[in-house]
Amino acid sequence: MKKNIAIKILLAVTILLFHNEMNGQRAINTADINFEGTVNTVPYISYIADTALLNIETVNQKKQTDWLSFTNVKGINMGISNKYYWFRFQIHNSGKSTDTYYLLNSNRGINELELFKKKDGQIISMGRTGDHFPFYQRPFPSGNFIYPLAINAGDTVTYYLFINKKNENLNFNLHVITEDNLHVREKNIQLYMGLFCGILMLGFIISLFLFFIFKDKLPFWYSIYIIAVLNRLLTFEGFDFQYFYPSHPFYADISRYIASSILLALLTYIMQIFCNQQASNSKFFRTTNALRWMAIIFIPVTFIIYQYYPLFFLKRIHFIFFIIMQTVGVFILALSCFEKMMQRFKPASFYFMAVVMLLFSGGFAILQEIGVVNHSYDTPNLIQWSFIIEMILIIIGILYRYNLIKLENENLFNDLNEEKVNSIKQILDTQQKEQQRIAEDLHDILGSQMAVIKMKVTALNEDAEKKEGLIHLIDDVVLNTRNIAHNLAPVELHHNAISDIVSSYLVKLNSIQSIHFTFIQTGNPVSFTKEEELDLYKIIMEIIQNILNHSQATEASIQFFFNNDNFEIFAEDNGVGIPAEKSKGMGINNITKRVKNLNGKIHIDSIEGNTTFIITIPLHNEPAN
């Protein structure tokens, strides 16, 4: 079924391309055109087609019945043929003075043409030009083929136009235009081309700017694509031939094919990058890859055919393949974008709109190229505007794509941060649970066992002095075990407020240590989370251990102050102060880290004979139960 549809499409394209072979063979007399306006299309044209290259004398001697005629047509379409064409028409100057008019051929891609003027029995060549000749041979310096026509008042002049576009598609319009309007037309073309070039160069600069910002290949390749679009617009206006290689007509002959093929290859590759099209997420990936390489390979094939094998059937196949490749190629790009849209890839909608715009304008241009609609390359035209709109859409799409990626990265970063925080909390929770288990084991198991050992030692009938020393040693082990357990995680913390635990601990220290501790609490206590209470407990324990181990003090105080916004801890002793080499020791660093973990601030004032810790912790203002 699909094969039959493909065959029918190919037959339809072939009929459209070559319908000139079925034109009616109706001969009529050539008619005059009374030119009174500014622009007019030559309505009555007769022609002769022959595989042999006829000279002007032979053509002039042809009988009226040998001429075939187009009557009141807007455009002439001869399709692809291996023949040479001669066209005959007349122009009458109905004015009162000799005026200079210009004959304009709308097709910029004619290989060879020559205009002859017949008047008073004499035939004069008005110039031979075409894409196969250097640009300086053109009678008028323009991308179009333009001939000046000087016609005396009241005169009627017969013209013969020879055209050689053998083995290629031939369709065109013939217009007669006044000198003033010709200059206006040329200025308008330059104005619009300058506008288009300026817009494209702005897009090029924006794309390069995005490339340097994001260091991504998408805006880089799109900037290359914009240069290719600019080249294509200049090529189809003939400016490339006029300004870049005026002495090399061969390149002008194939430049349109090459420019369009480069565009298709770049457009396909950029679509793959833009839509992140891969074999794993697209049914069209292999098709678009094949399309891209087909467009690339078409470039050297064009060069080889036109340079070495300019045969009729090869050029015909080449032209048909070019039309099909361009049309089907853009259609495949549209399908690929539509597929990504169905996959909820939002930026693909911008590329889809751009490709549909190109598909519509490109299809219209192909219909012009094969002569189905009136052939006109006047600037500005649909294909030129479509490239500008396409560029704007895709640049907006690139910006939207990067913004979407930025948002996705931010969300991913936030998710990763949240996951990281949760992981850290789980680690800390596990660590605290393990510390709690070890502390309970030390407190309950080892502590009780040491108490039993002490009882048994006390009951022994040993030397009193040795027994007393052993009992003191056991007391030290019990105290150190209790300190270790409290440093890991105090068992009482799960059942008592931190102020009660600290107060009780200091009372025990006062009974066994030479330093006398005072505990003071002011204000209404507030509740803390278990994690916060553990951090606060370890901060206070670290301060107490510093006082015990390093201060050489006799008096020390721990004070808690609760107010509406903060919880403040004041720890002060009358010792020797903190030496400079120990001000950044492990104990002080541990205190500082835990204070920071509670979003608090710490200030340490240490002078000889006095050390003060001032710690401020912000509160959540939740009263304790």
Give the chain's end-to-end CA distance (angstroms, integer): 82
Cα gap 421→223, rounded to integer Å: 43
Nearest C-alpha neighbor of 575 from the set 538, 613, 541, 540: 613
Q: Is 152 helix (H, G, I), strand (E, B) or coil?
A: coil
Cα gap 47→192, rounded to integer Å: 35
User: Which pLDDT score, from 0 to 100, does residue 154 have?
Assistant: 80
pLDDT single digits (tens) 296-342: 999 999 999 988 988 888 888 998 899 899 889 988 999 999 999 99
Average pLDDT, the chain: 80
% of the chain residues with pLDDT over 90? 26
User: Which pLDDT score, from 0 to 100, does residue 213 have?
Assistant: 86
Provide mean pLDDT across the span 30-50: 62
Tell how many helices (H) and how many strands (E) occur in the chain: 15, 18
For residue 69 the two structure tokens come to 């005629």
The 10 Å Cβ neighbour count of residue 468 is 13
Cα gap 335→10, rounded to integer Å: 21
Residue that is written with structure tokens 């936030």 in the block = 414
pLDDT single digits (tens) 119-154: 888 999 999 999 889 999 999 998 889 999 888 888
User: Which pLDDT score, from 0 to 100, does residue 27 have?
Assistant: 34
Provide mean pLDDT across the span 386-411: 83
Among 48-57, 278-287, 360-369, 527-536, the minimum mean pLDDT is found in 360-369
Dihedral (CA of 495, 499, 503, 509) sign:
positive
% of the chain residues with pLDDT over 70? 76
User: Which pLDDT score, from 0 to 100, does residue 542 have?
Assistant: 84
Edge-to-edge, what's the strand order for the sheet holding 601-607?
Answer: 516-522, 555-562, 566-573, 610-618, 601-607
Res 291 pLDDT > 50: yes
Give the model's confidence band at 29: pLDDT under 50 very low, under 70 low, under 90 confident, else very high: very low
Cα gap 230→243, rounded to integer Å: 14
User: Which pLDDT score, from 0 to 100, does residue 432 have?
Assistant: 64
Among 164-173, 404-413, 435-444, the minimum mean pLDDT is found in 435-444
Give the model's confidence band at 9: pLDDT under 50 very low, under 70 low, under 90 confident, else very high: very low
Give the model's confidence band at 277: pLDDT under 50 very low, under 70 low, under 90 confident, else very high: very high
Using CA atoms, how far residue 77 sits from 110, 168, 169, 172, 588, in Å, is 13, 12, 8, 7, 94
Give the model's confidence band at 91: pLDDT under 50 very low, under 70 low, under 90 confident, else very high: confident
User: Which pLDDT score, from 0 to 100, does residue 527 have?
Assistant: 80
Cα gap 447→484, rounded to integer Å: 11
Provide mean pLDDT across the span 9-13: 46
User: Which pLDDT score, from 0 to 100, does residue 513 have?
Assistant: 77
Among 403-417, 427-441, 541-555, the minimum mean pLDDT is found in 427-441
Give the model's confidence band at 16: pLDDT under 50 very low, under 70 low, under 90 confident, else very high: very low
Give the model's confidence band at 609: pLDDT under 50 very low, under 70 low, under 90 confident, else very high: low
Res 497 pLDDT > 90: no
Res 262 pLDDT > 90: yes
Give the model's confidence band at 39: pLDDT under 50 very low, under 70 low, under 90 confident, else very high: very low
Provide mean pLDDT across the span 214-223: 90
